[in-house]
Amino acid sequence: GAVVSQHPSRVICKSGTSVKIECRSLDFQATTMFWYRQFPKQSLMLMATSNEGSKATYEQGVEKDKFLINHASLTLSTLTVTSAHPEDSSFYICSARRSLAYEQYFGPGTRLTVT
């Protein structure tokens, strides 16, 4: 199989605080993990691509100092939303990909609400 988990599934935080979201590949080694954001009725928007052991590559318009990504091992990547604001409220989804494979397997997503 190819199972990807995300934690937490839902989080509510106050404006100005930081939130960490974990993405784990449970039964395979993920050399690459992707982080997406999806607003209601919109498509998935790629935020950044992370390869194990190296710095993440951020898409244009995504602030790397605000969205900190760490891919410290072949099974774990984390996204930290720093100094969250209400406009950061969204559905954050990670995906993971095996080495030399093209298909991505998605985690269940994290719904972030910033009050």
Partner 1 sequence: GQNIDQPTEMTATEGAIVQINCTYQTSGFNGLFWYQQHAGEAPTFLSYNVLDGLEEKGRFSSFLSRSKGYSYLLLKELQMKDSASYLCCSGGYQKVTFGIGTKLQVIP
Establish if 106 lies at the interface with partner 1 (CB under 8 A).
yes
Question: 24 near 2, Cβ under 8 Å?
Answer: no
CA distance 85 to 67: 12
- Contact range with partner 1 by CB under 8 A, out of 11-19, 45-53, 65-73, 77-85: 45-53
Q: Which of residues 73-92 bind partner 1 (CB under 8 A)?
A: 91
- Contact range with partner 1 by CB under 8 A, out of 60-68, 72-80, 81-89, 100-108: 100-108
Of 39, 33, 12, 8, whose CA–CA distance to 22 is shortest?
8
Establish if 49 lies at the interface with partner 1 (CB under 8 A).
yes
**Total interface residues for partner 1 by CB under 8 A:** 20
**Residue partners of 67: CB distance under 8 A and separation at least 6:** 35, 47, 48, 58, 79, 80, 81, 82
Establish if 46 lies at the interface with partner 1 (CB under 8 A).
yes
CA distance 111 to 75: 21
Establish if 93 lies at the interface with partner 1 (CB under 8 A).
yes
Residues within the interface to partner 1 (CB under 8 A) = 6, 32, 42-46, 49, 57, 91, 93, 102-109, 111
